[in-house]
Amino acid sequence: MRKLVTHITRILTIGFLFGSVNLLAQDLLQPTDERTYQEYMDKVLEPLVQNDASLLKNGILYDRVFPMADLVHFNNPDSLNKSNFKHFTRSLSELYGASITPQTDVLSLENMGHVAYHFERQGKIQIGIINVDFSIIDSLALKPENPKLEIVNQRLTRIADKNPYLHKKALVISPIAKEGIYGENTVFEFGKIFIQKTDNPIKDLIAIFENNQSFTIFQNGNLVNESITVNFSKRRYARNGI
């Protein structure tokens, strides 16, 4: 089983990082006894992890983690951009895991769950918002025409005075309801699970529900509506979101 995981990790690593570059199997470190995808990636990316935190948005290098939440493409017009409880928690987990710089000022996944469940028991559903900048490795960084990375001792190393990173933003919004959303009149709260570390903060945000129920949540960069009550046409139960 470990050999199978190692083989899959190897294929995925090359595929995610260098889809446009042909690499020989011996170019990078071979997986050995790593228990996770990230353990292996941190060996391959060791020089970048150790030296390049200041070049990364919020010290986050998304290539370190297995991107199940697909935050690189999540907000693109031609891709899915609907989140739910599972996707939101996965997104937060990936940003934490990809961070080289400790995110001590950000609500942890465990604390987020405590906050959400505390208010859920009071009949108040928290709306989680993640608005965070992060960085990825440019898939063209090893192109011989304009290389920004090189392979040294089977590890990726940045060429001096080159920047191989692209900057992205994750905007993820979802109800955080462990037990689901149940009822005709539902109270949603904003601001308690709100993680914003970006050069492009939320300016205006309007939430629209069925029957054209519209609520202004942010206006001119300010949270102006911390609690709303939404009237649904019939009782509903939704475990993963609305």
* Lowest mean pLDDT segment, chosen from 7-11, 54-58, 75-79, 222-226: 7-11
Which domain does 69 fall in, by range? 2-238
Higher pLDDT, 140 or 25: 140
Instruction: Tell me the pLDDT band of 13, cut-offs 50, 70 and 90.
Output: low
Note the pLDDT tens digit of each residue in 198-211.
999 999 999 998 88
Q: Is the pLDDT of residue 119 over 60?
A: yes
pLDDT of the residue at 55? 97
pLDDT of the residue at 163? 97
Q: Could you write out the DSSP letters of every residue in the chain? A: -HHHHHHHHHHHHHHHH-TTS---GGGSPPP-S-SSHHHHHHHHTHHHHHH-GGGSGGGBBGGGS--TT-TTTTTSTTS-----HHHHHHHHHHHHHHBSS--TTS--HHHHHHHHHHHHTTTEEEEEEEEEEEEEE-TTTT-TTS--EEEETTEEEEPTT---EEEEEEEEEEEE-SS-EESSEEEEEEEEEEEEESSS----EEEEEGGGEEEEEEETTEE--SEEEEE-SS--EESS--
Mean pLDDT along residues 65-75:
93
Predicted TM-score (pTM) of this structure? 0.85
Instruction: Tell me the pLDDT band of 231, cut-offs 50, 70 and 90.
Output: confident
Domain count, the chain: 1
Q: Is the pLDDT of residue 15 over 70?
A: no
Mean pLDDT along residues 145-152:
93
